[in-house]
Amino acid sequence: MAVVLLIGAGLMIRSVRNLIAIDPGFNPSSVLTLRVNIPRAAAPASAGVPAATQAGAPATPPGPPPLVVQARSLVERVRAVPGVVAATLSNDLPLDGSASAVFYTAEGQPAVNAQNIPRAYIHAVSPDFFATLGIPLTQGRTFIDNELVPQSTAVIVSDQVVKRFWPGQDPIGKRLKFGAVDSNNPWLSIIGVAHDVKYRGLPENPTKDPDIYMPFVDRNTVAAIGVRTTGSPSAMASAVRSAIRAADPSITVYSVRSMDELIGSQTAQSRFIMWLMGAFAAIALLLAVIGIYGVMSYLVAQRTREIGVRLALGAAGSDILRLVVGNGSRLIGAGIAIGIAAAFVLERLVSTLLFGVTAWDAAAGVAVVVLATVALLACYVPALRATRVSPISALRYE
């Protein structure tokens, strides 16, 4: 059991280290994330009465009341907070669990069916989204202000879209549309290509679907804001919240978390199991050492007379040492062999929690070496005591 737990703890430690070192495709350092709910202004009393129309044409229903403040102006206020380097708007942010997917058609794509129809996750972002989050643009450019309108046909796609449909070609100017090829949706023109991002989960996105970025249009009541700071994002949370609420007290600010916290939540299960198995492994190792020491001490005591006879007949202390340690080594070897076999079964059970490691990982070898070394030391102490037995006293031992 000590072998199984030590190998399991070693694999989980290596796995968590690999998870921490993984590149999510963006720079999470010093980034604060939050969401805002901007209420609409109260509609005037006459808003519910349609305006008169000519020649009896049906009246046009009034649109929704305007927002009490535009999300873009909130970001400007946030940028003015001391310690804020950059801020951006979007409908969702990496790892916040708010992304949604749609089917799309790429220009020149081959015939598709229900199994391979292209699907992508859609994100509405402001022009500074990529610079704020540290997402590199591998080709093209970001959005410009006159593209931040509902009728905009500009889109930015992730590398996966280009690799699937236009490998080795210049994707700038290529087109795609949402829905099937015969849908009435307009064709959209690619103006840039962004580096692939672990947008929806770590260590990998739950699905292989790519990402498509649309211009953020300032008309929705809910928006996500990403803020890059010079210091600790958590320390800046209060100042950023106050700057937003100063624009209008009715604005709700929620889900205020640093990007490191979002990443931490993705690895929380693996880290918990790592600490749990580590604690059990330490306890198992301690119990194994105590048990081995107790058993070997008992066996030495049982063989005291035999040891005295051997010493009286001329056996050296090293011979006694080899005798006792050899017997213990055979028991230790058997236990390690059984433990390694059981560890392979454990590895299959927890394989979904491991990342970048297998049962043959070096951590497993280190765990076995540590246990074997400590166990041999537990055998060595009683063996050393046996070499100091007086032959006369041993022959009289009952």
Cα-flanking dihedrals φ and ψ of residue 72, to 5°?
Answer: -65, -35
Q: Is the peptide bond before 150 cis (omega within 30 degrees of 0)?
A: no
Amino acid at 68: V
Residue 151 lies in a domain: yes
Which of 156, 191, 216 is a domain's end point?
Answer: 216
Indicate if 96 and 188 belong to the same structural domain.
yes
Residue 235 lies in a domain: no
Indicate if 190 and 286 belong to the same structural domain.
no
Indicate if 140 and 206 belong to the same structural domain.
yes
Ranges 263-267, 284-288, 316-320, most confident: 263-267
pLDDT, residue 124, reads 96
> Both tokens of residue 241?
């919240």
Is the confidence at residue 59, as pLDDT, over 90? no
Q: Cα–Cα–Cα angle for 341, 346, 352, nearest 5°?
A: 140
Q: What are the angstrom distances between the C-alpha of 357 and each of 207, 281, 304, 361, 362?
A: 21, 19, 48, 6, 9
pLDDT, residue 174, reads 96
Indicate if 210 and 272 belong to the same structural domain.
no
Indicate if 321 and 391 belong to the same structural domain.
yes
Residue 275 lies in a domain: yes
Residue 107 lies in a domain: yes
What secondary structure does DSSP assign to 324-390, as a single string? HHHHHHHHHHHHHHHHHHHHHHHHHHTGGG--S--TTSHHHHHHHHHHHHHHHHHHHHHHHHHHT--
Indicate if 376 and 279 belong to the same structural domain.
yes
Indicate if 282 and 388 belong to the same structural domain.
yes
Residue 238 lies in a domain: no
Domain of residue 141 covers 92-216
Q: CA-CA distance, 391 to 395, in Å (whole number)?
A: 6
Q: What is the mean pLDDT of residues 213-227?
A: 92
Indicate if 271 and 388 belong to the same structural domain.
yes
Range scoring the smallest mean pLDDT among 118-122, 379-383, 391-395 = 391-395
Residue 59 lies in a domain: no
Domain count for the chain: 2
For 24, counting Cβ atoms within 10 Å of its Cβ (0-12 exposed, 13-18 middle, 19+ buried), the class is buried
- Which of these, 13, 355, 75, lies nearest to 198 by C-alpha position? 355
Q: CA-CA distance, 172 to 142, in Å (whole number)?
A: 12
Q: CA-CA distance, 319 to 313, in Å (whole number)?
A: 12
Indicate if 278 and 346 belong to the same structural domain.
yes
Range scoring the smallest mean pLDDT among 177-181, 237-241, 354-358, 370-374 = 354-358
Residue 343 lies in a domain: yes
Indicate if 275 and 389 belong to the same structural domain.
yes
Range scoring the smallest mean pLDDT among 74-78, 141-145, 197-201, 389-393 = 389-393
Range scoring the smallest mean pLDDT among 129-138, 244-253, 300-309 = 300-309
Indicate if 192 and 271 belong to the same structural domain.
no
Residue 221 lies in a domain: no
| Beta strands at 154-158 and 188-194: parallel, antiparallel or unpaired | parallel
Higher-scoring residue by pLDDT: 71, 378: 71
> Both tokens of residue 88?
């951006």
Q: pTM for this one?
A: 0.75
